[in-house]
C-alpha cells in the first residue's frame, strides 16, 4: 500500500447516487482502510462539482466571465489536487489559492494554467511566483519592485526563463511575472487604498511589470448597503482604466448568487462550487441548482453492547441507562471533527435512516454513537451529509457549533481519505489499493 505525504486521491466510477451495491463496495474497502485505522472517508462527487460550475456560469451576470475557482485550504477540505484536476478538465479557466505552498503543491502535481495567489505576497516571494507562473496579489510598491527584480533576474539568467518556466499549456496564459493589484474597498485586510492605485499602475508601467488585473473583495455580501458601497468605490477607483484591457473582478460566491459585481470580467467562486451556501439562505441557494459535493461516510471500527451503568469516553460525560449498542468511528478532533459536538452531534445509519446520537466526548481520534440495534460489519453511516440537513450536513453542523460551513469542511484533516466519485472520475473503487494517506 502506498503511503504518501499528500492527501488521499482515490477515484472510482459510479453514478452520483449510491445503490446498495455501491455502499457494499465501499464497505468492503473497510479492511483496506482498517489496515491504516481508517474506516471513515470523504466521498467527493465530481459530477456535482461540474454541475456547480455550470450553475456559477449560469447565474453570473456576465455569462462569459472568466471563472477563477478557489481551491485554497485544500480545496475547502475537498482535496485541492484532485478538485483542481477536475476543474481544469471541465474548462475552468483559472484557480485561486491563498498561499505559495498551495500553488506549488498544484504545480508539483502537474496542474498547469493560471493560478492566482489571493493572499498578500512579500517582495522576496516574487521570484518563486515568477518561476512557477503564479499570479500574485500586489498591494504596495515594494511588491512591484520585487516582481521587477525577479523579472530582471530571470532575463539575466542563462536559461532565459521569461517564457513560461512552468509549462502553461494554454496559449492565452498570461506571461510570467504577471500581477493583479488588489484595492481595499472597505474590508481593511489586503489591498492598496483607492487613492494609491494610480501610483501603483504607473510603477508597473515604469518597471515593465505585466499588470493584468485589478480586484477587490466583499466583506459581507448579505450586508447589502455595505456591499453596494464597496462595489461603487471599486467602480469609481477603476474608472480611469475601464477602457483598457484589464481583468476587473470582485465577486465571490456571495456576489455571484446575488448578482453583485458578477457583471465584471472575472468571478472568484469558492464555497459555492463545493455546493455549500455562503450565507444563511440555503433554500434559495439550493433552488439555484447548487448541490453539496461531499459526504463524510464510514463504517464503525467497533460496535459494543454495553450494560446499563457504563461510562463512555473521556471525562465520564455519558453513562448508559440501559443495555445499549455503542459504535466507535475512527475520527475525532484530530480530523477536524468538532469537539463541541460531544453528546450533541449525530450520524445517520444509511440502512434505516436512523439518526444516532453521539454519546460521550469527541476525542482526538474517535467518536462514539448510540445505535438502536447492532449494525452489520459492512454498514455505512453518514457523518456529514451532502445536503442541507439541520443536524448532519456541513451547513447544519456549522449552525450547531456556532461557526460557518467553510470551517466544517476546511478543517477535515488530510489523513481522512478522499474518494472521488462520479461518472467522469476515471478509475474504479476497486483501485482502493492505491489509497494514499499521511
Ligand atoms: C480574494 C478571494 N476571492 C474569492 C474568495 C472566495 O470566497 P467564497 O468562498 O465566499 O466564494 C475568497 C475566499 O475567502 C477570497 O479570499
Q: Is the CB of 44 under 6 A from ligand 1?
A: no
Q: Is the CB of 270 under 6 A from ligand 1?
A: yes
CA 182 to ligand 1 center in whole angstroms: 13
All domains in the chain, ordered by first residue: 10-44+294-434 (2.40.37.10), 47-288 (3.20.20.10)
Catalytic residue among 72, 221, 246, 274: 72
pLDDT (tens, 9 = 90+) of the chain, 438 residues, equals: 222 223 344 443 333 334 445 545 554 554 455 545 568 999 999 999 999 999 999 999 999 999 999 999 999 999 999 999 999 999 999 999 999 999 999 999 999 999 999 999 999 999 999 999 999 999 999 999 999 999 999 887 744 444 455 545 555 678 989 999 999 999 999 999 999 999 999 999 999 999 999 999 999 999 999 999 999 999 999 999 999 999 999 999 999 999 999 999 999 999 999 999 999 999 999 999 999 999 999 999 999 999 999 999 999 999 999 999 999 999 999 999 999 999 999 999 999 999 999 999 999 999 999 999 999 988 999 999 999 999 999 999 999 999 999 999 999 999 999 999 987 665 334 334 333 332
What pLDDT was estimated at residue 158? Answer: 42
Q: In the numeric block, which cell numbers belong to residue 432?
A: 482502493
User: 326 phi and psi, to 5 degrees?
Assistant: -125, 125
- Bridge partners (DSSP) of residue 183 are 192
Q: Is the CB of 269 under 6 A from ligand 1?
A: yes
CA distance linking residue 222 with residue 277, whole number of Å = 12
CA distance linking residue 67 with residue 95, whole number of Å = 8
Instruction: Give the number of the atom of ligand 1 that is nearest the alpha carbon of residue 268.
Output: 4
Give which of 47, 45, 52 is closest to 70, Cα–Cα. Answer: 52
Give which of 264, 235, 246 is closest to 205, Cα–Cα. Answer: 246
CA 117 to ligand 1 center in whole angstroms: 11
| Contacts of range 368-374, beta carbons closer than 8 Å, 24 or more positions apart | 368/312, 368/313, 368/326, 368/327, 368/328, 368/329, 369/300, 369/326, 369/327, 369/329, 370/324, 370/325, 370/326, 370/327, 371/303, 371/325, 371/326, 371/327, 372/325, 373/325, 374/303, 374/305, 374/325
Q: Quick one: how far is CA 205 from the chain centroid? A: 35
In the residue annotation, 72 being an active-site residue is answered as: yes
What pLDDT was estimated at residue 379? Answer: 93
pLDDT in tens, 34-52: 545 568 999 999 999 999 9
Q: Where does residue 404 fall: left (phi above 0), alpha (psi -120 to 50 degrees), or beta otherwise?
A: beta
What pLDDT was estimated at residue 36? Answer: 52
Given the DSSP bridges, would you call strands 381-384 and 294-298 parallel, antiparallel or unpaired? antiparallel
CA distance linking residue 285 with residue 437, whole number of Å = 34
Tell me the residue length of the chain: 438
What pLDDT was estimated at residue 207? Answer: 98
Q: Is the CB of 217 under 6 A from ligand 1?
A: yes
DSSP string, 262-292: TTSSEE---GGGGT--SSS-HHHHHHHT---
Instruction: Give the number of the atom of ligand 1 that is nearest the alpha carbon of residue 137.
Output: 1
Pocket test for ligand 1, best of 247, 270, 394, 404 (most atoms within 8 A of CB): 270
CA 314 to ligand 1 center in whole angstroms: 38
What pLDDT was estimated at residue 14? Answer: 37
Give which of 356, 358, 345, 347 is closest to 400, Cα–Cα. Answer: 345
CA 18 to ligand 1 center in whole angstroms: 31
CA distance linking residue 353 with residue 374, whole number of Å = 14
pLDDT in tens, 331-346: 999 999 999 999 999 9
Instruction: Give the number of the atom of ligand 1 that is nearest the alpha carbon of residue 182.
Output: 1
What pLDDT was estimated at residue 358? Answer: 98
What pLDDT was estimated at residue 176? Answer: 86
First to last CA, the chain: 12
What pLDDT was estimated at residue 11? Answer: 41
CA 104 to ligand 1 center in whole angstroms: 19
Q: Whose CA is nearest to atom 9 of ligand 1?
A: 270
Is the model's pTM score more than 0.85?
yes
In the residue annotation, 314 being an active-site residue is answered as: yes
Amino acid at each position: 500500500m502506498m503511503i504518501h505525504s499528500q492527501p488521499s486521491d482515490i477515484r472510482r466510477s459510479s453514478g452520483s447516487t449510491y445503490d446498495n451495491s455501491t455502499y457494499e463496495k465501499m464497505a468492503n474497502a473497510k479492511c483496506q482502510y482498517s489496515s491504516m485505522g481508517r474506516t471513515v472517508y470523504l466521498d467527493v462527487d465530481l459530477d456535482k462539482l461540474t454541475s456547480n460550475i455550470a450553475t456559477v456560469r449560469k447565474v453570473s451576470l456576465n455569462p462569459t466571465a472568466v471563472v477563477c475557482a478557489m481551491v485554497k485550504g485544500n480545496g475547502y477540505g475537498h482535496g485541492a489536487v484532485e478538485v483542481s484536476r477536475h476543474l481544469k478538465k471541465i474548462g475552468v479557466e483559472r484557480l485561486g489559492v491563498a498561499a505559495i505552498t498551495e500553488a506549488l503543491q498544484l504545480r508539483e502535481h502537474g496542474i498547469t494554467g493560471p493560478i492566482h495567489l489571493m493572499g498578500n505576497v512579500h517582495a522576496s516571494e516574487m521570484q518563486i511566483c515568477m518561476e512557477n507562473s503564479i499570479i500574485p496579489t500586489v498591494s504596495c510598491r515594494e511588491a512591484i519592485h520585487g516582481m521587477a527584480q525577479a523579472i530582471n533576474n530571470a532575463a539575466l539568467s542563462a536559461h532565459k526563463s521569461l517564457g513560461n518556466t512552468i509549462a502553461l499549456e494554454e496559449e492565452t496564459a498570461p506571461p510570467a511575472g504577471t500581477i493583479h493589484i488588489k484595492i481595499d474597498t472597505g474590508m481593511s485586510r489586503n489591498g492598496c487604498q483607492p487613492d494609491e492605485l494610480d501610483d501603483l499602475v504607473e510603477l508597473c508601467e515604469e518597471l515593465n511589470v505585466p499588470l493584468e488585473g485589478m480586484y477587490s473583495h466583499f466583506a459581507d455580501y448579505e450586508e447589502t448597503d455595505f456591499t453596494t458601497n464597496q462595489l461603487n468605490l471599486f467602480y469609481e477607483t477603476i474608472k480611469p482604466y475601464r477602457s483598457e484591457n484589464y481583468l476587473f473582478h470582485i465577486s465571490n460566491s456571495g456576489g455571484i448568487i446575488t448578482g453583485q459585481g458578477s457583471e465584471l470580467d472575472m468571478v472568484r467562486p469558492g464555497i459555492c462550487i463545493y455546493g455549500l451556501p455562503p450565507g444563511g439562505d440555503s433554500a434559495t441557494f439550493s433552488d439555484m441548482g447548487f448541490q453539496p459535493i461531499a459526504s463524510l461516510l464510514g463504517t464503525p471500527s467497533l460496535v459494543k453492547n454495553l450494560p446499563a451503568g457504563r461510562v463512555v469516553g473521556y471525562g465520564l460525560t455519558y453513562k448508559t441507562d440501559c443495555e445499549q449498542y455503542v459504535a466507535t468511528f475512527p475520527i475525532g478532533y484530530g480530523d477536524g471533527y468538532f469537539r463541541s459536538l460531544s453528546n450533541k452531534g449525530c450520524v445517520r445509519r444509511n440502512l434505516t435512516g436512523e439518526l444516532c446520537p453521539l454519546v460521550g466526548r469527541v476525542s482526538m481520534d474517535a467518536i462514539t454513537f448510540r445505535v438502536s440495534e447492532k449494525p452489520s460489519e459492512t454498514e455505512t453511516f453518514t457523518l456529514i451529509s451532502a445536503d442541507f440537513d439541520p443536524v448532519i450536513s456541513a451547513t447544519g453542523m456549522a449552525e450547531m457549533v456556532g461557526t460557518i460551513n467553510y470551517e466544517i469542511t476546511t478543517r477535515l484533516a488530510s489523513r481522512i481519505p478522499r474518494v472521488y466519485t462520479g461518472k467522469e472520475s476515471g478509475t474504479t473503487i476497486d483501485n482502493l489499493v492505491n489509497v494514499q494517506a499521511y
